[in-house]
Structure 1
Amino acid sequence: MLLKEKISIESFGDKKFKIKLIESDKDTEAAFTHYLHNHQNGVSQFYKPHAIEHVKNLFEYKYPEESITTEAAEEALQYLIFQQSNIPFPAPKNPTFKFIDLFAGIGGFRMALQNLNGKCVFTSEWDKYSKQTYQANFGEVPFGDITKKATKDYIPDGFDILCAGFPCQAFSIAGKRGGFEDTRGTLFFDVAEIIKNKKPKAIFLENVKGLRSHDKGKTLATILNVLREDLGYFVPEPQIMNAKEFGVPQNRERIFIVGFRNDLGVTEFEYPKPVKEKPTLDDILENESVSVKYYLSETYLNTLRNHKARHESKGNGFGYEIIPDNGIANAVVCGGMGRERNLVYDHRLKDFTPITNITGKVNQEGIRKMTPKEWARLQGFPDTFKIVVSDAQAYKQFGNSVAVPAIQATAKKIIDKLSAL
């Protein structure tokens, strides 16, 4: 078994010290934090053995001369339950349902379902920077690669809703019926396998709008066939939902797929209607003047203008865009022109002295990128959400996230349907 050492910081209350963690097929750090958050319910049994092992490792490193017994580690674990530092977004004290959060990113699904009084009992995310943001806000370290059996083995029984914003991948279904076995080797297969083994009451999947036409519609057709025929779920026609219709000024279309286990007798489901509130960009912009580092240089601005002009001469609409204060932002995405298609005018800057290595002078037209906080607001995250990574990582994380208000509105419909059974 391959082992790799790393140095980390563990915090218990106001005490911090360096520890040595051992990474292997056992995700003891994630098990430890999941145990702390589930010690009052039966879910904790799924995490307790490796949570104790994690505590044992901590103390063996801090006190190498001491012999730490399993019993002593278990006693320390119970003590640590009451020594947790404040968590920005704790689970509700008296939850009414349980859910799991797959491909969790920074916790958009979790934020939405916790707001509806749900308890997250398992979460997984492979990106190390997203895991840092997730832990900073929810107090839990997500488990890692969900394609591994060792990770799936941590998933508890008895949760109500499976949530997953899984990546879109094509299936090899030439000449086949497009069933469960045909999805092997894709991340949807891992989601389907978990559904098959755990049989949650409901499922809530999110993906890019392009899933509908991906591989000439074969990908979505296979997904629906697996959910309906192989796994036994009532799945109404998926719907394209736009974040701008649920209280945030962002034109972000995503496909939502909802399902209910057949034995529950659900035969109809209505997706939420758009809200009346129609915010504009001005509602999410920073209240105070932002750093000069967000303002474009004259050189880069000219490059963008020339680039757009070349495309326009060819009849293409590709290029940068400056969103008016009373307008709606384009979808925030990571990479490509994600930030450049959401530039804004902001004339509050007084000192144009660069603080980063840019080519040329800072433009004095007031043209800047949005800040990570503004992207967070566009996705429906509250201002108290902690951003603990670099700007580059923050843009990536919010660009990859779900829009919380749209998820929450749909999840409420799911929960209402389950509550009525």
Structure 2
Amino acid sequence: MKTSGKDKEFFTIAQVADILGLSKETLRRWEASGKLIPERDEGNNYRLYSREQIEAFEPAQQLFSSNWGEELQTTPHKSYSSVELFAGAGGLALGFEEAGFNTVLLNELDKHACATLKKNRPEWKVAEGDISKIDFTHLRDEIDVLSGGFPCQAFSYAGKKAGFEDARGTLFFEFARAVKEINPKIIVAENVRGLLKHDDGKTLETIKSIIDEIGYDILGCRVLKAVFYKVPQKRERLIIVAVRKDLSQDLDFQWPSPFHRILTMKDALKEGELYSSDVPPSEGQKYPAYKQDVLSMVPPGGYWRDLPVDVQRDYMKGSFHLGGGKTGMARRLSWDEPSLTLTCAPAQKQTERCHPEETRPLTVREYARIQTFPDSWEFAGPLTAKYKQIGNAVPVNLAAAVGRSVVRLLNQIESADELPIAVGQ
């Protein structure tokens, strides 16, 4: 964010692209067509957009009128309990803990992720292993929220509407079975944005119909962009929030408000608003010599198209002649922008995430900071397993924001339960 001498707020093209959820190329086209024309910084000719210009767009309106500060004060009216399935390295559970939940049980198949959970929270009960082998009936009517990010699988049943029993063999069936056995007040399911279009949308429709069949009303189904929730990363997660039908009357569920600004790589790795110190040193992968030489030529925020043409051809091989931007290849991050979505491996050719300044992949601790894990959260297993756990995680601050929305929903349910019954009813 920049300010002129007249105290007028200005935003760079990168900031506006993040706020509006557009590409910089789209904004340049809008400038050429006259739809949104920026001013030019006299010193370096950078495009600068005034706050008044971008306030015409809904994402900017939400950002500038955010209730984040008030929502941060959310507290549970009583102790609320949670169970999480497919828990991974604990991003969602840690965020829900921050929101005020008491974690009763977590299930995870991956042994390294389980070791991470046990290492950081010895008091958490971690059920390691295949979810289909776990009986949840001992928790029936004892749990407020059941959450989890089940892996996405297609429901291929030719010509018929798939119901709960038809979904056997899928991991969503196991998620739904746990819901039936536990009977929680609320369920929170999270997944990748791709679920929206998976199997032409049939997968999501089947999931919604099964949620209805097992006795829950969906109050919200939305893709949340982590960059709006105090996460310095362009990551998106599909979140579904549903409440048990006997509790669903007269409830007002509200998605979390956005944080007051978009955080960047500088916020992630340097002392500031997000962390009280610079990122501590940690282990990390290395580039082979050839890739090191190539990426050393890429400027901050740049990618393979910023290389000399002969280097582009050699590095990209057959992909050089194919369509599409392939913007993840030979990609160097920028201090002044959020990170691209982290993957399970920072040095893969299709999804490189090179440090903004040094020519190397991001370290484990840098990866964790971009996912807003605290520096105290340690990851177990070999280096590749650590990257995988972090890359698959729900960003902690996004999880906390969703958790506070769920706490407010439970507070409504709790308040309704405490209302006196009128005489004569």
The 8 Å contact of residues 89 and 116 in structure 2, kept in 1 or not, is answered as yes
Alpha-carbon distance in 2 for matches of 1:344, 1:125 = 31
5 Å-filtered alignment, 1:167-206, equals: 167-206=151-190
5 Å-filtered alignment, 1:100-111, equals: 100-111=83-94
Higher relative contact order (CA closer than 8 Å, sequence separation 6+) = 2
The 8 Å contact of residues 255 and 405 in structure 2, kept in 1 or not, is answered as yes
Alpha-carbon distance in 2 for matches of 1:404, 1:291 = 20
**Counterpart pick for 2:379 among 367, 374, 387:** 387
User: Deviations for 1:95-151, whole angstroms, at most 9, x for unmatched residues?
Assistant: 710000111111112111111221111111111111111111011462133433444
Q: Which amino acid aligns with 1:172?
A: S
Q: CA deviation at 1:388?
A: 3.3
- Residue 323 of structure 2 corresponds to which residue in structure 1? 315
**In structure 2, do the counterparts of structure 1 residues 267 and 179 end up closer, same or farther at CA, with 3 Å as the change threshold?**
farther
Identity %: 32
The 8 Å contact of residues 339 and 369 in structure 1, kept in 2 or not, is answered as no
- Residue 41 of structure 1 corresponds to which residue in structure 2? none
- Residue 132 of structure 2 corresponds to which residue in structure 1? 148
- Residue 334 of structure 1 corresponds to which residue in structure 2? 344
Q: CA deviation at 1:266?
A: 4.7
Alpha-carbon distance in 1 for matches of 2:234, 2:118 = 29
Q: CA deviation at 1:246?
A: 0.7
Q: CA deviation at 1:312?
A: 3.9
Q: Which amino acid aligns with 2:118?
A: Q
Alpha-carbon distance in 2 for matches of 1:339, 1:290 = 26
* 2:256 alignment partner, SS class: coil
Alpha-carbon distance in 2 for matches of 1:288, 1:213 = 37
**Counterpart pick for 1:403 among 395, 398, 409:** 395
Q: CA deviation at 1:270?
A: 2.3
Q: CA deviation at 1:248?
A: 1.5
**Counterpart pick for 1:247 among 202, 208, 230:** 230
* 1:345 counterpart = 2:356: yes
Q: CA deviation at 1:197?
A: 2.1
Q: CA deviation at 1:314?
A: 1.9
- Residue 159 of structure 1 corresponds to which residue in structure 2? 143
The 8 Å contact of residues 189 and 239 in structure 2, kept in 1 or not, is answered as yes
4+ residue stretches of structure 1 with deviation over 4 A? 153-157, 288-295, 302-305
Alpha-carbon distance in 2 for matches of 1:125, 1:222 = 24
Size of the aligned set, in residue pairs, is 310
* 2:146 alignment partner, SS class: strand
User: Deviations for 1:344-380, whole angstroms, at most 9, x for unmatched residues?
Assistant: 233xxxxxxxxxxxxxxxxxxx311111111111111
Alpha-carbon distance in 1 for matches of 2:139, 2:265 = 40
User: Deviations for 1:239-260, whole angstroms, at most 9, x for unmatched residues?
Assistant: 0011111112100011000001
Q: CA deviation at 1:403?
A: 1.1
Greater alpha carbon shift after TM alignment, 146-155 vs 232-241: 146-155
Q: CA deviation at 1:320?
A: 2.5
User: Deviations for 1:373-409, whole angstroms, at most 9, x for unmatched residues?
Assistant: 1111111111111133332111100011111111111
Alpha-carbon distance in 1 for matches of 2:253, 2:287 = 47
- Residue 66 of structure 1 corresponds to which residue in structure 2? none
User: Deviations for 1:248-289, whole angstroms, at most 9, x for unmatched residues?
Assistant: 210001100000111112554221122113211012226379
- Residue 36 of structure 1 corresponds to which residue in structure 2? none
* 1:381 alignment partner, SS class: coil
**In structure 2, do the counterparts of structure 1 residues 198 and 340 end up closer, same or farther at CA, with 3 Å as the change threshold?**
closer
Unaligned runs of 5+ in 2: 1-74, 271-277, 296-311, 414-425
- Residue 260 of structure 2 corresponds to which residue in structure 1? 276
**Counterpart pick for 2:360 among 336, 360, 368:** 368
Q: Which amino acid aligns with 2:291?
A: Y
Alpha-carbon distance in 1 for matches of 2:128, 2:338 = 36
5 Å-filtered alignment, 1:53-72, equals: none
